Amino acid sequence: MGGENGDAAVAPAAGEKEEGKEKGRRKFAVLLCADDSEYVRKAYGGYFKVFVGLLGEEGEAWQVYRAAHGELPTAAEADGYDGFVITGSCNDAHGDDPWIEGLVAFLRTLDAKKKKVLGVCFGHQILSRALGGTTGRAKKGWDIGVTCIHPSHTIIKSQASLHIPSHLPVIEFHRDEVWQLPPQAEVLAWSEKTGIEMFRYGNHIMGIQGHPEYDKGILLHLIDRLLQRNLIQTCHAEAAKASIGMRQPDREAWKRLCKGFLKGDLLW
């Protein structure tokens, strides 16, 4: 099924897809795995714009596919993209919803084509599943707030030009995790709560459990939604909010790392 053109500044105008390709315009797709809340639509223009704000650059074409509604590129359409980003979701990556099983099959197609794929939170977990790993409920429960993760020597030394710090704060918002990596995958970062915060598979696939794209406003909004639905206790919400005052996510370092992977030629 075809995707919808995003109206972000770096996206092509209607009818420009082929023309942009002929001009050598780089193309990327966001596979949106959750519906936008009213707050995110009004404050940010939707999660698609949030990701383009983090990763997009002038002259690129970005398109959104609403994967949670079964909307994905065809295998032929996938050939026209330089990279893909898979977002977070309210759903479980280990679920058997038809759209999730369709996404798993599509990700295996992207792997066979050696397409660059960056997975965030649910995207991180569903990539692991698609490639032969396992996911499930986090053994230490919800991880919400600003968490400091520890990148491996692989990232710090081999990607020295990106200046990735040894302690890297990121916003976390998850209760599932990768239990076991796919064969031949490598752990790239860990935290006190989560053993697999990042992983790579070859040079073309990378998963991140945290949310480099989130800011304080999105995190506070999501915490309040969990409270309203009685999914967390007040003490957990207060601790998560307090973490924001203790440290700030290193958005610039995450931007360098994500862009370096998605658009560069990182060799591990």
Written as six digits, the tokens of 145 are 């707030």
Judge whether 121 counts as a catalytic residue: yes
H helices present in the chain, as ranges: 17-22, 38-44, 47-55, 75-78, 98-112, 122-131, 153-158, 216-228, 234-246, 251-263
Phi, psi (rounded to 5 degrees) for 147: -115, 140
**Which residue, 75, 195, 109, 99, is CA-closest to 147?**
195
Judge whether 258 counts as a catalytic residue: no
**Active-site hit among 60, 172, 197, 213:** 213
Written as six digits, the tokens of 96 are 């058997």
Judge whether 186 counts as a catalytic residue: no
**Active-site hit among 60, 121, 172, 197:** 121
Residue 176 near residue 94 (C-beta atoms within 8 A): yes
**Active-site hit among 124, 174, 211, 258:** 211
Residues acting as catalytic residues: 121, 211, 213
